[in-house]
Amino acid sequence: MKRKPRCSRDWSSIFLVDRLSASKPTCGIQLRCNLLRTRVRSVRHGHGGQTILCRGNCGQPESLVHILQSCWITHDARCARHNRVARELAKRLRRLGYTVFEELRAPTSTSFIKPDLIAVRERRATVIDVSIVSDGRGVTVWNEKKQKYGADEFSLAIISALRAIGCDVDFLVQQPMIISYRGICFPQSAKAVIGLGLSKVTVSDLCLLAIVGSLRTYDTFMRGTWR
């Protein structure tokens, strides 16, 4: 049997028809395969000799990763994409009996830290920071998050902040939730949240939210720069 292209296999594994409008499946496949229209892609395929620079006047090449990860026009849409994933993850953890704190401020010696989620059950706290990243950034961001929240000062700050609101914990771990803007979950993150009791279906749902968020971000860019 002929194998499907990787992008097709990945998409079918997380595609939920009732969560997308009729036009979105095609756009989702285009996103997964990096086929959405941008100036960089148009010039690369010989569609005229126009500039490749971003229509948002960023001075950067208008690639898909630029639109979905760094352009100033899409800042609010990117934040909304991140927040939808974080809120859904918090909701699923609460269903499993976790007490979940969202953006709890933990004072440090110089400022404060505010992880996206802290899930507590049986005196064990799990710090979960959500990141929607570019392809190839998973390992780097995973290590950065683990190092940041695993530092003694920050771990103690989080434990102190929890105890200050009457939540005693004996143990604290860091489990970053990292998904690419194309909806591919970093393997260590998938393993970590499944270890918390969540299902593979939940991981797929979170990936789908990232895809939908990226498509909305792309639409925001196209509406904001149309002329």
56-98 per-position pLDDT tens digit? 999 999 999 999 999 999 999 999 999 999 999 999 999 999 9
Structural domain boundaries of the chain? 23-75+213-225, 79-210
DSSP labels, 117-178: EEEEETTEEEEE-EEEE-TT-HHHHHHHHHHHHHSHHHHHHHHHHHHHTT---SEEEE--EE
Binned at pLDDT 50, 70 and 90, residue 225 comes out as low
| Percent over 70 (pLDDT), the chain | 85
Q: Which three-class secondary structure state does DSSP give residue 209?
A: helix
Q: Is 226's pLDDT higher than 60?
A: no
Q: Is 9's pLDDT higher than 50?
A: no
Quick one: pLDDT at residue 47? 60
Domain formed by 79-210, architecture: Alpha-Beta Complex (3.90)
Per residue in 185-220, pLDDT (tens digit) is 999 999 999 999 999 999 999 999 999 999 999 999
Binned at pLDDT 50, 70 and 90, residue 6 comes out as very low
**Average of per-residue pLDDT across 3-30:** 52
Q: Is 38's pLDDT higher than 70?
A: yes
* 14-23, 43-52, 81-90, 197-206: range with lowest mean pLDDT: 14-23
Binned at pLDDT 50, 70 and 90, residue 20 comes out as low
Binned at pLDDT 50, 70 and 90, residue 44 comes out as confident
Tokens representing residue 17 in the block = 């028809």
| Cα–Cα separations (whole angstroms), residue 119 to 41, 65, 114, 128 | 42, 31, 13, 8
**Average of per-residue pLDDT across 150-167:** 93
* 31-45, 122-136, 164-178, 195-209: range with lowest mean pLDDT: 31-45
Per residue in 124-143, pLDDT (tens digit) is 999 999 999 999 899 999 99
Q: Is 4's pLDDT higher than 50?
A: no
Q: Is 227's pLDDT higher than 60?
A: no
Phi, psi at 171, each rounded to 5°: -145, 140
Quick one: pLDDT at residue 35? 82
Quick one: pLDDT at residue 24? 66
Quick one: pLDDT at residue 21? 54
| Cα–Cα separations (whole angstroms), residue 71 to 48, 60, 160, 197, 218 | 23, 9, 37, 36, 10
